[in-house]
Amino acid sequence: MKKIVIAIVIIFLISILLYLSGYRLDGLSAARANSFISKDSVLLDEVEYSWGKVFIFNSPEKPVTAISSKSFGFLWVSRMSVYYYPNKDLIKTIGGVSYVSDQNKATTVISVWSSDPKISYIEIGPEGNRIRKEAILNSPITFSWDKSFQWNDLKPQAFNKDGKVIYEYRYAKSNFIKHEDLKWYPVLQDEDQEKSISN
């Protein structure tokens, strides 16, 4: 009887320790236990892999993406998150991550939100891995791969119904590069117009 009580106490203490370390029984709970995910964050979308899940969150402060990985066979933990600068543009990136682990678990995810009815479809991805998706208004449009790509190899573009590029995702054409300047820009003939839009 004494051995049973000791075993129960040990299991209880281990469970508490795992819980305090961020381990949970499902991926979403593990992502919400990530210290960078605020309590008022809203889940917008998720991408599932054999080894884990990528969650796209939004909050009043900023959009955040979190990765939850399976651990110990039945537990989940989230150790990685990426935040994006919020803006009120007609098309914006609301989440994404490029990741490869020591165990060669790889992912690239990018999620876009469009409120511009002129956008018909969006293409993202390097040559040979390019994906096209219909632009759904005011809803996450999420692209995913089981490989890790650099953001500048993805070359995201938004097209109108005539197949003309009307937005592209990049840094502003400026002598000074700021992280918040990585966003969607209208494809304009007049670069002065672009500068006025980004200000």
Specify the pTM: 0.86
Average pLDDT of the chain to the nearest whole number? 89
For the segment 19-34, what is each residue's pLDDT rounded down to a tens digit?
A: 777 889 999 999 999 9
23: its two tokens: 């381990």
SS3 track for the chain? CHHHHHHHHHHHHHHHHHHHCCCECCHHHHHHHCCCCCCCCEEEEEEECCCEEEEEEECCCCCEEEEEEEECCCEEEEEEEEECCCCCCCEEEEEEEEEECCCCCEEEEEEEEECCCCCCEEEECCCCCCEEEECCECCEEEEEECCCCCHHHHCCEEECCCCCEEEEEECCCCCCCCHHHCEEEECCCCHHHHHHHHC
**What is the pLDDT, as a whole number, of residue 191?**
46
Do 192 and 172 meet the contact criterion of CB atoms below 8 Å apart? no
pLDDT digit string, tens, across residues 81-139 = 999 999 999 999 999 999 998 788 899 999 999 999 999 999 999 999 999 999 999 99
> 2: pLDDT confidence band, cut at 50, 70 and 90?
confident
Give the model confidence (pLDDT) of 39-74 as tens digits. 999 999 999 999 999 999 999 999 999 999 998 888
State residue 19's pLDDT score: 76
